[in-house]
Amino acid sequence: MGENKRLMLAGEWYLPDDEELGTDTVRRVDLCSAYNGTGGNELPDADGRRRILGELLGSVGEGVRIRPPFNCDFGTYISIGARTFVNFGAIFLDSAPITVGSDVQIGPNVQLLTPTHELDTERRRAGWERASPVTIGDNVWLGGGVIVCPGVTIGANTVVGAGSVVTKDLPAGVLAVGNPARVIRRLE
């Protein structure tokens, strides 16, 4: 493993324009294109999509359904639990691990984002970034258009309302809405 990839996975500052990371990106582009049916071929059947997901993602539980289009940074750092449903237009930027539990419902156009960029203007211009894991607990529902920011954990059985931006951890069993998302009540 190269130094930049090691730094990326350790949550340290790294430069994403790296030959090794570029090779990983080419792999992801090819697999996402095949999955989404944008590589000049028809959309694969259910068995074909399942095979592509198994090759693209780090782990895929039984009965996972992801509606295309689906896009990610690498794929290999994404784990999705059994019976999870991901609707159209999902973007999972997995420069750090993304862990999605079982029985999760993810609405259309949801973004799970692990990378962040440098605030210093010169370092940002040079391309420095780092990443922090995102964890989604079992039986979570993320409404359409939800954005989950780097380093966030959402506890089991929590619901996040459509269009919310989750910037901080959310506990288990709550309803959260807004930008930034805030807990408005406990769920029974």
**Residues 140-178 pLDDT 10s:** 999 999 999 999 999 999 999 999 999 999 999 999 999
Beta pairing, strands 134-136 & 98-100: parallel
pLDDT at 17: 87
* Interhelix angle 19-36/46-56, nearest 10 degrees: 170
Specify the CATH number for the domain of residue 162: 2.160.10.10
- C-beta contacts of 134-137 below 8 A and 24+ residues apart: 134/96, 134/97, 134/98, 134/99, 135/98, 135/99, 136/98, 136/99, 136/100, 136/101, 136/104, 136/112, 137/101, 137/172
pLDDT at 42: 66
For residues 101-115, average pLDDT? 98
Domain containing residue 85: 3-186
How many structural domains comprise the chain?
Answer: 1
For residues 2-21, average pLDDT? 91
Judged against a pLDDT cut of 80, whether residue 37 lies above it is answered with yes
What tokens appear for 184 in the block?
Answer: 């408005």
d(CA 187, CA 18): 45
Judged against a pLDDT cut of 90, whether residue 1 lies above it is answered with no
For residues 8-34, average pLDDT? 92
Q: Which of 7-21, 32-46, 50-64, 104-118 has the lowest mean pLDDT?
A: 32-46
pLDDT at 41: 57
pLDDT at 180: 98
pLDDT at 18: 86
Instruction: State the catalytic residues.
Output: 117
For residues 33-49, average pLDDT? 79
62: CB partners within 8 A, 6+ apart: 82, 83
